Amino acid sequence: MSSEPRLPSWLPTGRTGRFSARSRRKLWREVHFWLGLVAGTTLVVIGLTGSLLVYFKEIDAWLNPQLQIVAAPPAGRAAYRPISEIVAAARAAIPTGAQLGFTYYPRNEETAFWFFYSMGKGSQSGGSDTLNVFVNPYTAQVTGTRVWYSVESPFKNCLMGFIFKLHYALLLGTSGNTLVGILCVFFIISSLTGLILWWPITGKWRQAFLFKKHASSERLNHDLHKLSGFYSLVVLLAVLVSGVYFNLGPQFRWLVELFAPVTHRPDIVGKQQAHGTTISIDRVEEVVHQRFPDGQWFAFSLPPQTSAMPGNRPLPYMVAQLVPGAWGFVGRREIIVDQYSGEILHVGDPFRGRGGDVFIQWQWPLHSGYALGMPGRILVLIAGMVCAVLYVTGIIRWLQKRRASRLAERRRCALPIPASEARS
């Protein structure tokens, strides 16, 4: 008896019965094909919506100038009202029971503060609407409010809110969020199998990087599929891996923790202080600026006015800054500040700290393209459009192969070939 292990019957083998290089390549081609065929349509939706969301702030300001665009005085940002006045104006504009949370700083001197707040409506799903209020930084006056996410229907969201839900959950709620995370894993596998199929086993490396001159339409389609996938691979993998992080956060962190410890932000709380007075957001900005004067203000989140955590543990402030690094990289630093003492409880810095925390901290800059500034955002925008190119050229390639297979079968069986297929 042979001591060589038997291969499963479904694996392709060469003439010798061994799992040859050609057979392995055939297997990877099958995996690549079926992943693309089954999940490709959703990849197109996720990719194209992701391209739009790279510039969602700019697009939203263009669509809603009455909400976001403000007149800047000659002094520019130096003329901003105190941040506490701006927050107070936002609080005064929201309904009773609503809770201010995440806030974007103005991205330039002509845009408003962009607040997000939640408003429970007692829906059957147990969720709550997410709404926006915009505040002029120079006058501390509200420029408008709107619905961002509606728990009743995604079609009641504003346009950018609708595109966000379509992008990360396919409008399917919590289950859609999980589904997209799983699909991202499949797309990662598909991208890696595509790299295996691109690899020039004949050693003709120069041809692997270029389109073939004077090629037929079939070869042109093949080269477009192969090269668009290859040249966008690094960006696509960065976006897909970070997509898994955003949609399957607990599972992603568990995997990272197998290699390096990770700080869990929900576990970071301030010290319990009976009858303590919360410090103002102005004081928080002072503390952060004294410690990190190099950062560009990007966002902040406010602790709830009534803590909903077990034991009424005090939740902290969070301030996010964009920070430049070596070789032109841009990261997002997150600073957690105690709401009573003003003590900095944690710093999530993409350029320093524990390996696991640094890796997690890079996921947002990579996913959004901010990691390389404007060039990085353009690359992510193109990568999203490449998803559609890969799907369309992949389907065309499949149809071409199926037609060629039918022709070969007819010739083998000496059957007449339809004129339309013979011409093609």
Query: Which DSSP category does 202 fall into?
Result: T
Q: Quick one: what percent of the chain has pLDDT higher than 70? A: 88
Nearest to 261 by CA among 354, 351, 349, 353: 354
Condensed to tens digits (0 to 9), the pLDDT of residues 281-303 reads 999 999 999 999 999 999 999 98
Task: Read off the pLDDT band of 25 (50, 70, 90).
Answer: confident
Of 44-53, 142-151, 312-321, 410-419, the range with the lowest mean pLDDT is 410-419
Tokens of 197: 């199929």
* For range 259-266, the mean pLDDT: 87
Query: In whole angstroms, what is the distance from residue 409 CA to residue 412 CA?
Result: 5
198-207: per-residue pLDDT in tens?
Answer: 988 877 888 8
In the predicted model, what is the mean pLDDT of residues 8-25?
A: 58
Look at phi and psi of residue 140 and say left if phi exceeds 0, alpha if psi is from -120 to 50, else beta. left
The encoded tokens of residue 134 equal: 């915009």
- Evaluate whether 281 touches 289 at the Cβ level (below 8 Å): no
Confidence check: pLDDT of 308 > 50: no
- Indicate whether 243 pLDDT > 60: yes
Residue 277 has pLDDT above 90, yes or no: no
Is residue 73 predicted with pLDDT exceeding 90? yes
Sheet harboring 141-149: ordered strands across? 141-149, 128-136, 113-120, 99-104, 296-301, 317-324, 330-337, 344-348
Is 237 in contact with 398 (CB distance < 8 Å)?
no
* 269: pLDDT strictly greater than 80: no
Quick one: which H or E segment has residue 243? helix 233-247
Residue 19, pLDDT above cutoff 70: no
* Mean pLDDT of all residues belonging to the chain: 88
Highest mean pLDDT among 34-43, 190-199, 234-243: 234-243
The contacts of residue 413 (CB under 8 Å, 6+ apart) are none
Q: What is the pTM of this model?
A: 0.86
**What is the pLDDT at residue 13?**
52
Provide the 10 A C-beta neighbour count for residue 417.
12
Predicted local distance difference test score (pLDDT) of residue 123: 46
